[in-house]
Structure 1
Amino acid sequence: MPQEGEHQGQADRGELPLDGSRNGNDAAVRPLWTRAFSLAIAVNFFISLVFYLLMTSMALYAVERFGASDTAAGLTTGSFVLGALAARIFAGKFLDFVGRRRMLLTGLLLYTVAALFYIPAGTLGVLITIRVLHGAAFGLASTAISASVMGLIPAGRRGEGTGYFGISATLATAVGPFLAVLLVDRTSYDVLYMVTAACAAASLLTALALRLPERTLTAAETAAKWRMRPADFFEPRAAAVASVMLVAGAAYSGVLTFLNSYAQEKDMVAAASAFFLIYAGIVFISRFVVGRLQDIHGDNAVVYPILTSFAIGLGLLAWAPNTSVLALAGAFVGMGFGALMPTAQAIAVTVAPDHRIGIATSTFFLMLDAGIGLGPFLLGLLIPLTGFSGMYAVLTAVVAAAMVLYHFVHGRLAGRNAVA
C-alpha cells in the first residue's frame, strides 16, 4: 500500500481517481490537506471575491449611473447569474471531454477579460450584456473547480472537505461587500472595477499552478459526446436537493441585492457592513463543525436547523427596529444560507454516481444560479408593493416552504436511511 506521502504527491499531480479514494481503505488514509486542495481553495476565493464585489454594488451602480428602476437594477445584478446558468448547462456535460484544468483556465481567462469592460460600458444595455458574458465565464470556471475539488477530497470526509472548500467563498462574502462599499465611498466605481479585474487575474495566475484530477472517459461516454438529451446536462438525483437551493438562492438574493438599499433607507449603512462581517464570521466557524456533524449524524441533523436559522435571520431583517437587530440577523443568515450551500452540495454529489459528479455539480449550481439570478428581478417587482421590510417578511415564508420541500425531496428518505 502506498504511504501517506506518496498519496499526497499523487493528489497534487492529479493522478487519484475522482471518487476520492484508490481502494476501499484508502479514503481513511489519504490526507485531505494537499497542495492541490489548498490551491483550489485559493482559486475559489478569488473567483468568489469578484462575484461578491460586483453583486453587492451593481444595483446601486445601475441606479446612480443610468437612473435604473428597482426592477432594472435587479435585472442588471441578476443577469450575471443568468449568464452563469446558461454556461453551466454545457459545462457539466463537456467538463470531462474538454478537460477539467483546460475548462478552468479558459473560464478564468474570459473571466479576467470581461472584468475589463465594466468601465467603458456607456449604456445600461451594454452593462447588462457584459454582466451576462462575465457570468458565463464564471459558470465555466466555478463548475470546473467545484466538480474537480471533489476528486481531491477523500470520500469518507466529503462533508468536512466540502465545508473547508466553502470557507473560501465565506471569506469572500466578508471581504467582497466590505471592500466594495469602502472603494465606492472613498474612491469611485472605476477603482472598484480595476480591483475586480485584478482579483480575476489573481484567480487565473493561481490556477496555473494547480493540477486537477482528470477522469478517463469510457467508450460509451465518448460515443455519446454530442448527444443532447436532458440526462446529459441534468442529474435528477442531484436535482432533488438542488430544488431546495433554487428556493433558498432566491431568498438570499434579496439579501445580496437589496440589503444596502434597505440599510440606506433606514439610515443603517454601518449595520449593513457589520451584517456581512458577522455573516462571514459565523459561516467560517460553522464550516469546522457542520460538515463533521453531517458526516457523523446524517443530513437531516444539520439541514433542518440550518433552514430554521435562515428563516429567523430573514424575519429579523423584516423587523429590524435598530442596528443591533440588523447586525444580529447576519448571524442567523450565516448559520442558515451560508452553512446550507456546502451541506446541500455534499448531498448532491453523494447521491449521484461517481462518473456523473461533474453533471451533478453543474445541476446543483444551475438551480442555485437560477434562484439567485431570477430572484433580484422578481423581488424588484415585489418591492414597490411591499417595501423592503415586507419583502423580507415574504422571504421568511419562502424559506419555511423550502424546509417543507426538503422534507419531501430528501429529508424523509434520509431519515429512513438513518433509522435503517
Structure 2
Amino acid sequence: MALSSNQQSESERLWTRSFISLTISAFLLFLNLHMLLSTFSSYVKNEFAASDLQVSLVTSVFAGAAILTRFLAAGLLRKMSPNVLLLVGLVIAATATVLNSVAGSVEALLLVRAVYGIGFGIGSTLLPTFASRIIPIRRMGEGIGYFGLSSSLAMSIGPMIGLNVMREYGFTPLTLIGMTAVLMMFPLLLLTRAFPPIRPAKPTEKPHHSSHQLQGEGRSKAKQRPAFNRGLVFPALLNMILAITYSGLLSFIALFGEFVHLEQVGLFFLFNAVTIVLIRPVSGRIFDTKGHAAVLIPAALLVIASMLVLSFTTTLPLLVLSALLYGLGFGAIQPTLQAWMLRISKPEQYGAANSMFYNSMDFGVAVGAVLLGAIASRTDYAVMYRYSAGFMGMFLLCYLGVQLVKQTRRSKHKAHINDTSSIDTPSSS
C-alpha cells in the first residue's frame, strides 16, 4: 500500500523536471519571437524605406505561415516522430532568425519571415501538447495556467529587450541573441529528457473502430462526440479581437515612440509585465470561483482605458499608466479565455483547444498588423490606438450580447419546464 501511495503521489506532481524544462523552453521560443517582432517595424521602415502596409506584412506573413503550419501539423505527426518534428521546427526557427539580418530587400525578408513562421508554428504546437500530456489530469487547469505564464512573460519582456538591444547595438546582434535563445532549448530538452513517450499512430491502426473503446464509452459510433468542439469558436473569436490590440503594440509602438518623441517607449512592456505577473493568479482564482464574466468584463474595460490613455500619451508617466492598465486587462483576459476553452473540452481535445487558442492569437496579430497599419497610414499612430480601443469595445459588446442571448434562452427554457410541470401535476380537490 505504501508503494501504491507513493506512486499515486508521484503521478500527481506538477513541477516535474520535464514540465519545468518544457515551460522554460516555451518561454525561450516566445522570447525569440517577441524580441524581434517588436523591432521589425522600425527596422524595415528605416532600412528599406518601407510603407506602413509593407511593415504590417512582415508580421502578417509570419503569422499566416504559423497558422497554416499548425493545421498541417496533424498530417506531419502521422509521418514522423513528434520529438524529431519538434527538433526540426526549432532548427528552422533558429536558422530563419539569424537570416533576418542578411535579407537584402523587403521581399527577401518576407520569405525569411514565412520560413520562420513554419518553425515557430511547429514549436508552438508541440511544446504545449507535450506539456498537456505530462500534467496530471486533476491539475490540468493549474498546469496549463503556469505553462501559459511562460508565453505571457515572454510577450511582455521580449519587446522591451528587443527595443533596447536594437537601440544600443543594432539589428544583427539582436538576431544573434534571438538565435541563441532557440539554441538553448536543445540541451534543455535533451538533457532533461523532457519529451514524453508519444508514439505516432500507424496507418493500419483504427482506434475509432476499437470494440474496447466503444464498450468503455458505452455509446455507438453514431453517438460519439465529434472531434471539433463548436464551443471553442466564440472564446477563440474573443482571443482574436484581443490579439488585434496587442498587434498594434508589437508592430507600431516603436514608431509611436518616435512620433511622440518618447525614447523610453520600451518601458511600456516592462510595466506591462509587472501587472501581468500580478494579475494572472488572481484572475485564475476568480475564474474558478465566479466564472469568466467576472474576469472578462472588467478586464476588457481596463484594456479600453489603456488604449485611450496611450493614444493621448506624450509623457513617460502616461505611458507607464497605459502599460499598467493593459497588463491588468490583457493578463486577466488571455489565461481566462484559454482556461475557458480547456474547461469545455475533453482531455483528448486539449491539444486541439490549445492549437485553436494560439491560432486565434496569431490570426489576430496578423489581421491587426494589416488593419491597424492601414489606419495609421491614413491617420496617425495616436488615432490608430483609439481604433484599438474601439476593437475592445466590440469585444465587450460581443461578449455581453452572447451572454444575454444565453441567459434569455435559459429563462425561456426554465419557464417552459415550469409550465410543463404545472400542467402535468394533477390539481388537488
Matched, 1:151 2:151: no
User: Which residue of 124, 127, 137 corresponds with 1:142?
Assistant: 124
Matched, 1:54 2:36: yes
Residue 219 (structure 1) shift: 2.2
1:197 paired residue number: 179
Matched, 1:403 2:404: no
User: Which residue of 292, 312, 336 corresponds with 2:329?
Assistant: 336
Q: Is 2:77–2:200's contact at 8 Å kept on the other side of the alignment?
A: no
Distance in 2 between the 1:411 and 1:96 partners? 43
User: Which residue of 252, 258, 266 corresponds with 2:260?
Assistant: 266
1:124 paired residue number: 106
Residue 383 (structure 1) shift: 0.7
Distance in 1 between the 2:408 and 2:28 partners? 37
Distance in 1 between the 2:82 and 2:391 partners? 36
Distance in 1 between the 2:252 and 2:278 partners? 26
Matched, 1:300 2:293: yes
Q: Is 2:310–2:382's contact at 8 Å kept on the other side of the alignment?
A: yes
1:310 paired residue number: 303
Distance in 2 between the 1:139 and 1:232 partners? 25
Identity %: 26
Q: Superposed, which structure 2 residues align to 1:70-109 within 5 Å?
A: 70-91=52-73, 95=77, 98-109=80-91
Q: Is 2:164–2:266's contact at 8 Å kept on the other side of the alignment?
A: no
Unpaired runs of 5+ in structure 1?
Answer: 11-29, 224-230
Question: Deviation digits for residues 255-308 of structure 1, max 9, x if unmatched?
Answer: 1111111111111121x2221001011111122222222222222221222222
Distance in 2 between the 1:179 and 1:295 partners? 34
Q: Is 1:314–1:329's contact at 8 Å kept on the other side of the alignment?
A: yes
1:6 alignment partner AA: Q
1:269 alignment partner AA: E
Q: Is 1:294–1:302's contact at 8 Å kept on the other side of the alignment?
A: yes
Distance 1:269 1:40, change over 3 A: same
1:111 paired residue number: 93
Distance 1:71 1:353, change over 3 A: same
Question: Deviation digits for residues 109-166 of structure 1, max 9, x if unmatched?
Answer: 2212222312221111011011011012111111111233223334444443333212
2:7 alignment partner AA: E
Residue 44 (structure 1) shift: 0.6
Q: Is 2:300–2:329's contact at 8 Å kept on the other side of the alignment?
A: yes
Matched, 1:219 2:206: yes
2:259 alignment partner AA: E
Residue 395 (structure 1) shift: 1.1
Residue 203 (structure 1) shift: 2.2
Q: Is 2:260–2:314's contact at 8 Å kept on the other side of the alignment?
A: no
Q: Is 2:242–2:395's contact at 8 Å kept on the other side of the alignment?
A: yes
Residue 311 (structure 1) shift: 1.3
Q: Which moved more, 1:121-130 or 1:351-360?
A: 351-360
2:299 alignment partner AA: I
SS at match of 2:99: coil
Distance 1:277 1:297, change over 3 A: same
Normalising by structure 1, we get a TM-score of 0.84
Distance in 1 between the 2:29 and 2:138 partners? 27
Residue 213 (structure 1) shift: 5.9
Distance in 2 between the 1:407 and 1:102 partners? 44
1:317 alignment partner AA: L
Matched, 1:376 2:369: yes
How many residues get paired? 391
Distance 1:359 1:95, change over 3 A: farther
Distance in 2 between the 1:343 and 1:153 partners? 19
2:356 paired residue number: 363
Q: Is 1:57–1:181's contact at 8 Å kept on the other side of the alignment?
A: yes
2:47 alignment partner AA: R
Q: Which moved more, 1:382-391 or 1:287-296?
A: 287-296
1:20 paired residue number: none
Distance in 2 between the 1:341 and 1:258 partners? 21
Matched, 1:236 2:230: yes
Distance in 2 between the 1:410 and 1:155 partners? 29
Distance in 1 between the 2:7 and 2:286 partners? 29
SS at match of 2:128: helix
Question: Deviation digits for residues 224-266 of structure 1, max 9, x if unmatched?
Answer: xxxxxxx999643222210101111112100111111111111
Residue 221 (structure 1) shift: 5.3
Residue 207 (structure 1) shift: 2.4
Distance in 1 between the 2:186 and 2:402 partners? 38
Residue 4 (structure 1) shift: 6.7
2:7 paired residue number: 6
Tell me the C-alpha RMSD between the 2 structures: 2.9
1:278 paired residue number: 271
Residue 169 (structure 1) shift: 1.9
Larger Rg: 2
Distance in 2 between the 1:291 and 1:383 partners? 35
Q: Is 1:80–1:135's contact at 8 Å kept on the other side of the alignment?
A: yes
SS at match of 1:352: coil
Q: Which moved more, 1:363-372 or 1:348-357?
A: 348-357
Q: Which moved more, 1:312-321 or 1:99-108?
A: 99-108
Q: Is 2:81–2:200's contact at 8 Å kept on the other side of the alignment?
A: no
Distance 1:363 1:187, change over 3 A: same
Residue 196 (structure 1) shift: 0.9
